[in-house]
Amino acid sequence: MSVGRQTELPFRRATAADFEAVYAIIAEAAAWLRSRSTSQWDWFLTDPGKDLIRHRIETAETYLVLDADAQAVATFTVQWDDEMIWGPRGKDGLAGYIHGLAVCRRAAGIGLGLKMLQWS
């Protein structure tokens, strides 16, 4: 699991077969947030939260970022509508929406979050 200071890591679209990899990254982020007294991602650890992650993989554009050993170290989802959060404005076709952006702790601090936002 080599990440080092490498910031040019490959992205690839996640498939249903990648659910466990995406979920592991989200679960690690939820645990890290909890360690910092923030419970905002605890919901992802529930069955409905897992179902939402599966739904995003199937219906939106969920991506994985891979390290030099082809291990998943980050994930994010791009949605081209988001009526659930933004109401009717979320279907106006004027924006994309980023959800579930998370980076494994072993890959933290090398700018992956910014790279994912720039790429998307």
Q: Over the stretch 19-58, which tens digit does the pLDDT of each residue have?
A: 999 999 999 999 999 999 999 999 999 999 999 999 999 9
Q: Among 21, 40, 22, 18, which Cα is nearest to 31's?
A: 40
Q: What fold characterizes domain 11-119? A: Aminopeptidase (3.40.630)
Q: What is the pLDDT of residue 120?
A: 84
Q: What is the pLDDT of residue 84?
A: 87
Under 8 Å between Cβ of 22 and 53: yes
Q: What is the pLDDT of residue 1?
A: 41
Distance CA 74, CA 21 (A): 9
% of residues, the chain, pLDDT over 70: 93
Q: By 3-state DSSP, what share of the chain in percent is helix, strand and coil, each rounded to 5?
A: 50, 20, 30
Average predicted confidence (pLDDT) for the chain: 91
HSE-up of 69 (CA within 13 Å, CB side)?
A: 7
